[in-house]
Every structure is written in C-alpha cells, then in structure tokens.
Structure 1
C-alpha cells in the first residue's frame, strides 16, 4: 500500500496528544510512545501483493517493554 499526503507531529506536552491518549487508551500512554503522528491522506494506492512473503506470528516481542523500563518516564520524555 502506498499512502500520499501530509502529517503533523504531536509531542508529549500537547493537549491534542493527551486527548488522543485518553480517547484511545484510557489515559495510559503505551510503552515507548514518544509522539503521535496525525496524517491526512490525499491518495491511497494498493498493490497486487504478489511479492509479499508469508510470515507466521510467533508472539509479541519484549524489547519495547525492556527499553521502556530501563529509560523510565523521565528518560523517555
């Protein structure tokens, strides 16, 4: 899929960031979140997918949780 358009970034201290986190995550910021990108698409194109390999889902990785725990809230901000 190809997406064309423009985006804006919302950081931790913006009111819009806090509003979206509250709306979609109940006020708890997910591990590793540093900003939210708001995208406005002008054009969406699809492709045939013939060249896309098949993958098996094995489970979630713990790397982001480990990274988040080592940094702590102050380190992430």
Structure 2
C-alpha cells in the first residue's frame, strides 16, 4: 500500500543513498507541449534536508528539464529499487535551476563531485514524498556507471562543452528558454 511521508526520514535517506539511478519528469504548461522523462545516474543525487533534494545536471542533447523548470517549476523525481526488496519513492515539488558559473551554483556545488560537463544544479523544494510497492519492477544487477559522457566531456574540455551547450541547450523542443 502506498504511503505519503511528511519528510525525508532516516529510513528514506538510507534507501535513497543506495539507489544508482533516478528518473526526472517535467512538462511545459502548454497542453500540446512535450512531457519529458529523463533517466539520471552516476553519483549525482543529494538529499539537502527533510524536504529538499538536488542533483547535478550534466550536459545532454536536450535541455527540457531546465526549460520546463524555468517556465513553471513543476517536477517529480522517482527512484525505484532494481535490487533488493521492491520499492518506489517519488519526490514531487518545485524545482530551481542553479546554472553553472552563478553564485547560487557555487554555493551548492560542494555537495557534489564536480564533473566536466556539469551545467546546472537542480534543487527541488519537495511538496510531496510518497512510496509505492514496485512489485512489477524487474530485478537488475548493477555493473557500474557508464563513462561515455565523462569521456566525451573530457575530450571536448570546458570550452568545447560550453560551445556544445550554446549550440544545443539554448531552448527546449517546444521552444522554451533553456540555458542562458
């Protein structure tokens, strides 16, 4: 049976810290806009407080999450157990984009290992924390993080990544403003 939690307690924190993957979903206000759901990994997720979470956002081919948050702040982060007992946790809330090279980003980056290719920190003020069974989620064995994005970013270097972002991360698929 699903349950709504008043805050991120020790039990939830311990479970979250064991997860290797999470999913981020956002949507524009437009009824015909594209809903986005992105898988995330690496050691990029942090619990900041009893009702606050954040993740280090790395350069990607799109900028949907950032654009949607700039428009309307709505976000849900979902984690599900692929190993051990079945479990799903969702964090619904309002997200803020702390873009790289801003004072806000610099104030929060100490929570993370900084990667070449990082473009923002997404901070979520959590309104709703819920769990559900996850009984139909398959079991998978974790073999390790992929290093393709890190290799790509290192090869491009900071300047090359910035050029890529300027070309590919300025607006969403729906034409919403992405990176500055």
TM-score above 0.5, yes or no: yes
Q: Which runs of 5+ in 2 are unaligned?
A: 1-88, 163-180
How many pairs align?
A: 74
TM-score by length of 1: 0.80
Q: Which has the higher contact order (CA 8 A, sep 6+)?
A: 1
Report the equivalent of 2:97.
9
Q: Which runs of 5+ in 1 are unaligned?
A: none
Q: RMSD between aligned alpha carbons?
A: 1.7
Report the equivalent of 1:55.
140
Please state if 1:40 is matched with 2:125: yes
Report the equivalent of 1:73.
158
Contact 2:92 2:128 in 1 (8 A): yes
Structure with a larger share of its residues in helix: 1
- CA–CA distance in 1 between the matches of 2:115 and 2:155? 15
TM-score by length of 2: 0.38
Please state if 1:24 is matched with 2:108: no
